[in-house]
Amino acid sequence: MRTAAATTTWTDGVLILDDGTAFEGEVAVAAGTARADGPEGVDGAGGAVATGELVFNTSLSGYQEIVTDPSYAGQIITFTYPHIGNYGVNDDDSEHARPFCRGLVVRDLARRPSNWRSRGDLAGFLDAAGVPVIAGIDTRRLTRHLRDTGARPGAFGADEDAVRAAAATAAPTDGRDLVAEVTTPTPYVVGDADAPYRVVALDLGIKRTILTHLVRAGCRVEVVPAGTPAAEILARTPDGVFLSNGPGDPAAVAGVPDTVRSLLGAVPVFGICLGHQMMGLALGAGTEKLAFGHHGANHPVRHEATGRVEITSQNHNYVVRADTVPGGARITHVNLNDGTVEGLALDDLRAFSVQHHPEAGPGPHDAAYLFSEFTALMDVT
C-alpha cells in the first residue's frame, strides 16, 4: 500500500469488463466510498465497486472539466494521457456543482500537483465528490481493447469476486434516459437583467462554460428543467432557445424532441451535443451509437460552407445519421475522422446545432463564432 496524496490511501484493485477482460491496478480506498450526493453506480463503502460504461478520453489536459461534465453520467472515464492530476484542481474549472461520472481510470495519478491556480489535489477532489478511482492501469492496453470491441460496461474495486459479479451485470447507456439524472430540478437565471438577449436554456446536462459564453455574447439565460414543455418556454417570451449538451442515448430521452419540434419556427434555436441530437430527432432523423464514441480535444471538423477545418472538443457516443437527415435541413459540419454529422442548420426556421463543443476552445477559438451566429439570429425580426 502507498500514499499518493495527503488524504488518500491505495490498495490492490482490479478492473474487469463485461467480456471478462481484466486489468490490475490500485484503488483509492477513500474515493470508493458512496455518498448521498455522489454519482450512482457505487455500491457499499470503503472498497466499494464502481460500475458503468467504459469510454476513453484523449485530452492531454482539462481533466477537472471532463470529470465534472454531466455528459459522462453512467460512464467510467479512462484517460489515455498517462499523467493525470499534475496541475491539481481549482475553484473555477468545474462544469457542474458535482460529478456524475461513475468512476475514473488512470495510469498515474499525480501525488504532488503544481500550478499557481491549484487549490488542491485531484485525489482529494474525487474523494470529496464520492467518485471512485483506479490507478496503475495499463490504459494503453485498455484503450486498444475498447477501440477493438467498442465502449462496454465494466466494474472496478478491491474485491475481485465482487467486481467480477458486478461487471457481468453492468449496464451500458443504451436505452436509458440519463438526462433525468442531471437536469436541474428548478429554473435559475444567469447573466445581467439588462442584457440585450433573453434566452431560455433547456438543461439536458448543461456545462457552466456554455453559460459563460452565452452571457459573454450578451444573453440573460434562464435555465429550465429538461421536461419543461414548449408552451411554458414560449410563455417566458425568450428571444432564443438553447438546447444543451447531456448524457446518454438521445432516443431514450422522452418528450424533448416533441418540445423542440414545437419550438422550431417560433423562436431561434441553437443546440450543442445532445441538443444537436434532439434537433435531429425533432426533424425526424435517426440516431445511432458509435463503436467507442468521440471523447477528446483534437477532433478535426470541416465547415462545409467554407471548407475551413476546425479543431474541436468532443464528448458523445451517439450521432445523427447522415442518411436520415430530411430535406430542408442542411448538414453544416462533418467530422473528418469518420464522416459523421457534426452540424445541422434550418435556415428558414432560424435554427442550427453542432455535435461538438465550441465553448471548450481546443483550437483554441475555432468554433467560438457559433455563439455570435446565435445572437445574429435573434437580431432578425
Structural contact between residues 247 and 178, judged by C-beta atoms closer than 8 angstroms: yes
Listed residue (106, 102, 103) closest to 86, CA to CA? 106
Q: Which of 113, 146, 169 is the last residue of a domain?
A: 169
pTM above 0.85, yes or no: yes
Q: Is residue 250 part of a domain?
A: yes
Catalytic-residue membership of 365: no
Q: Which of 95, 310, 342, 359 is catalytic?
A: 359
Residues 154 and 16 occupy one common structural domain: yes
Identify whether residues 333 and 185 lie together within a single domain.
Answer: yes
All three cell numbers of 72: 459522462
Q: Are residues 219 and 331 in the same domain?
A: yes
**Residue 219 annotated among the catalytic residues of the structure:** no
CATH number of the domain bearing residue 35? 3.50.30.20
In a shared domain, residues 229 and 99: no
- 148 CB burial (10 A radius; 0-12, 13-18, 19+): exposed
Q: Indicate which residue of 276, 294, 299, 357 is catalytic.
A: 357
For the chain, the domain total comes to 2
Same domain, 306 and 365: yes
Alpha helices in 178-241 (DSSP H): 179-182, 208-216, 230-235
Q: How far is CA 167 from CA 22, 38, 162, 342, in A?
A: 10, 20, 9, 33
Residues in CB range of 52: below 8 A, 6 or more apart: 41, 74, 75, 76, 101, 102, 103, 153, 154, 155, 170
Smallest Cα–Cα separation from 230: which of 241, 219, 220, 244? 241
d(CA 232, CA 292): 37
**105 grid coordinates:** 481510470
91: containing domain? 3-169
Q: Considering 169, 196, 213, which residue would you say is the last residue of a domain?
A: 169
Does any domain span residue 174? Answer: no
Boundary-marking domain end, from 169, 203, 227: 169
Examine residue 213 and state whether it is found in any structural domain, yes or no. Answer: yes
Type of residue at 42: V
Q: Is 15 inside a domain boundary?
A: yes
Distance CA 139, CA 82 (A): 8
| pLDDT value at residue 47 | 52
Q: Which residue is catalytic, options 213, 219, 273, 310? A: 273
The answer as to whether 97 is a domain residue is yes
HSE (CB half, 13 Å, CA atoms) of 91? 2
Same domain, 80 and 216: no
Same domain, 162 and 272: no
Distance CA 232, CA 309 (A): 39
104 and 203 part of one domain: no
Nearest to 293 by CA among 321, 278, 314, 324: 314
Whether residues 132 and 190 fall in one domain: no
Cell 452565452, located at residue: 214
333 assigned to active site: no
- The grid cell for 182 is 442531471
- Both 93 and 209 in one domain: the answer is no
- Verify that 351 and 304 share a domain, yes or no: yes
Q: What is the pLDDT along the chain (381 residues), one digit of tens a residue?
A: 233 444 578 999 999 999 999 999 999 875 444 444 556 665 533 458 999 999 999 999 999 999 999 999 999 999 999 999 999 999 999 999 999 999 999 999 998 999 999 999 999 999 999 999 999 999 999 999 999 999 999 999 999 999 999 999 999 999 999 999 999 999 999 999 999 999 999 999 999 999 999 999 999 999 999 999 999 999 999 999 999 999 999 999 999 999 999 999 999 999 999 999 999 999 999 999 999 999 999 999 999 999 999 999 999 999 999 999 999 999 999 999 999 999 999 999 999 999 999 998 777 788 889 999 999 999 986
CATH of the domain at 290: 3.40.50.880
Buried b (16+ CB within 10 A) or exposed e, 321-344: eeeebeeebeebbbbeeeebbbbb
Q: Facing residues of 127 across strands?
A: none
Contacts of 57 (CB under 8 A, 6+ apart): 66, 77, 78, 79, 80, 295, 296, 315
Q: Is residue 307 part of a domain?
A: yes
Query: Do both 161 and 202 map to the same domain?
Result: no
